[in-house]
Amino acid sequence: MTQIEAEGALRAVDILERTLSEEYPQIELWAASAATVAYRHDAATTPRNAEPNPDVIGPLVAFPTNAEEVQAIVRAAAAHGVTVVPRGAGSGLAGGASATDQQLVITTERLNRILEVSPLDEVAVVEPGVINAALNEHLARTGLFYAPDPASFEISSIGGNIATNAGGLRCAKYGVTRESVLALDVVLADGSLVSVGHRSIKGVTGFDLTSLFVGSEGVLGIVVKATLRLRPIPVARQTLTAFFDSTVAGAEGLGAITLSPVRPSVIEFFDTATLTNIDAHSGTGLRDRGAALILIEIDGYGIHEQAADLTAALTRAGARVTVEPDIDAEQLWELRRHGRGFPAGHCFIGEDIAVPKSNLPRVYAAFAALEARFGVHISAVAHAGDGNLHPLLTIAADAGADQSVAPPELHEAATELVRIALALGGTVSGEHGIGTLKRDWAALELTERNLDIHRALKAALDPTHTLNPGKAF
Ligand X SMILES: Cc1cc2nc3c(=O)[nH]c(=O)nc-3n(C[C@H](O)[C@H](O)[C@H](O)COP(=O)(O)OP(=O)(O)OC[C@H]3O[C@@H](n4cnc5c(N)ncnc54)[C@H](O)[C@@H]3O)c2cc1C
Using CA atoms, how far residue 235 sits from 39, 300, 390, 441, in Å, is: 41, 5, 31, 42
In angstroms, what is the minimal distance from the CB of 266 to ligand X?
A: 11
How far is the C-alpha of 132 from the C-alpha of 21, rounded, in Å? 31
Phi first, then psi: what are they for 420, rounded to 5°? -65, -45
Binding span for ligand X by CB under 6 A among 157-165, 191-199, 227-235, 287-295: 157-165
Q: What are phi and psi of 117, to 5 degrees?
A: -130, 125
Q: Identify residue 281 by its one-letter amino acid code.
A: H
Q: Select from 58, 59, 64, 90 the one that contacts ligand X (CB under 6 A).
A: 90
Contact 189, 466 (CB under 8 A): yes
| 87 lies in the site for ligand X, by CB under 6 A | yes
Alpha-carbon gap, residue 263 to 257, rounded angstroms:
8
Nearer residue to ligand X within complex by CB, 209 or 321 = 209
User: Rule CB under 6 A: which of 29-68 touch ligand X?
Assistant: 42-43
Q: Whole-number minimum distance, CB 256 to ligand X, in Å?
A: 24
State in angstroms the smallest separation of the CB of 272 from ligand X: 22
Q: Does 457 bind ligand X (CB under 6 A)?
A: no
- Residue 114: name the closest of 198, 222, 227 by CA: 227
Stretch that binds ligand X, among 7-15, 156-164, 264-272, 301-309 (CB under 6 A): 156-164
Instruction: Build a one-symbol-per-residue string for 100-119: x at contacts with ligand X by CB under 6 A, - elsewhere.
Output: --------x-----------
Is the Cα dihedral 411, 413, 417, 422 positive or negative?
A: positive
Instruction: Name the residue number minimizing CB distance to ligand X.
Output: 160
Binding range to ligand X, per CB under 6 A, among 136-144, 217-225, 232-240, 403-411 = 217-225
Q: Which stretch binds ligand X (CB under 6 A): 27-35, 87-95, 321-329, 453-461?
A: 87-95
Q: H helices within 264-359, ranges in order?
A: 272-282, 303-316, 326-338
SS3 of 467, please? strand
Q: Could you say whether residue 97 binds ligand X (CB under 6 A)?
A: yes
Give CA–CA dist 124/147, Å, rounded: 12
Considering only 74, 139, 151, 317, the residue that binds ligand X (CB under 6 A) is 151
The torsion angle over the Cα atoms of residues 206, 211, 216 and 220, rounded to 10 degrees, is: 20
Q: Is 266 in the site for ligand X (CB under 6 A)?
A: no
Distance from C-alpha of 180 to C-alpha of 202, rounded to nearest angstrom = 12
86: enclosing H helix or E strand: strand 84-87
Helix (H, G, I), strand (E, B) or coil at 375: coil
Determine, following the binding rule CB under 6 A, whether residue 222 of this chain makes contact with ligand X.
yes
Does 16 sit near ligand X (CB under 6 A)? Answer: no
Site string for ligand X, 285-324 (x = CB under 6 A): ----------------------------------------
Q: Which residues bind ligand X (CB under 6 A)?
A: 42-43, 85-93, 96-97, 108, 128, 150-152, 156-157, 159-161, 163-164, 166-168, 217-218, 222-223, 431-432, 435, 468, 471
